[in-house]
Chain A
Amino acid sequence: DIQMTQSPSSLSASVGDRVTITCRASQSISNYLNWYQQKPGKAPQFLIYAASSLQSGVPSRFSGSGSGADFTLTISSLQPEDFATYYCQQSYSTPFTFGPGTKVDIK
């Protein structure tokens, strides 16, 4: 099975900050990497697919990059509605593993 890790596990940031979250796979997954956002008590929301493609309707301040085993999610200017937990997920092979999540909260 492919294991996914994320760093940091949590971070505190201010509105307007640039935020970067890292996701690493235990083996190469090409660019079969997706990102989701989850707010407390809510279902996950789909943000980015194929490592760097923005889902329709997602603000352009979100971006993704990487390939192989190392990936990043960047929020260029953090907005109040972006405080949430972010998960990466590999779609290279079953089981479709998720990273443990990165919680972004208010500094």
Chain B
Amino acid sequence: EVQLLESGGALVQPGGSLRLSCAASGFTFSSYAMSWVRQAPGKGLEWVSIISSGGNAYYADSVKGRFTISRDDSKNTLYLLMISLPEDAAVYYCARYTYSNSPNRYFDYWGQGTLVTVSS
């Protein structure tokens, strides 16, 4: 059974750093791209970042230069290092990204989310 378990969400001051983690199990983690998607309170889903199985990373413009996605395949864990602004307050979900033959590309498994609050 595929499981994704996020952790690391906390209250952080504006300009402060925070590292989120996502522990994966039930699949060959190293073979999959992994992504972060966030949801501000009462708002919709916003894609944040993705890292390929080979380590190539892509970011939403809203977080570029402030967030860093990484992965440790030996630990089956995905990370997101954040330099936080107030608008980054949200529940952060990690999601597995599956792609096979185009156009079969989608987020098929999601974690339960971890809450980041940004306030002084």
Chain A interface (Cβ < 8 Å from any Cβ of B): 1, 30-34, 36, 38, 42-46, 49-51, 53, 55, 87, 89, 91-92, 94-101
Contact = CB atoms under 8 A, between A and B. Distances in A.
Contact of B45 (A42, A46, A91, A101): A101
Contacts of A31: 103
A49 B103 CA distance: 8
Nearest to A4: B44
Given A43-B111, A43-B113, A44-B110, A97 B47 contact: yes
B50 A96 contact: yes
A95 B44 contact: no
Contacts of A92: 103
Size category of the B interface is 20 to 34
Given A32-B102, A94-B50, A95-B60, A46 B44 contact: no
B44 A32 contact: no
Contacts of A55: 108
23 contacts: A30-B103, A32-B102, A33-B103, A34-B107, A36-B45, A44-B93, A44-B110, A46-B106, A46-B107, A49-B104, A49-B106, A50-B104, A51-B103, A55-B108, A87-B45, A91-B106, A94-B50, A94-B58, A95-B61, A97-B47, A98-B47, A99-B44, A100-B44
A33 B112 CA distance: 23
A104 B13 CA distance: 36
B112 A96 contact: no
Given A36-B45, A89-B47, A89-B107, 5 more contacts: A44-B110, A49-B106, A87-B44, A95-B61, A98-B47
A53 B100 CA distance: 14
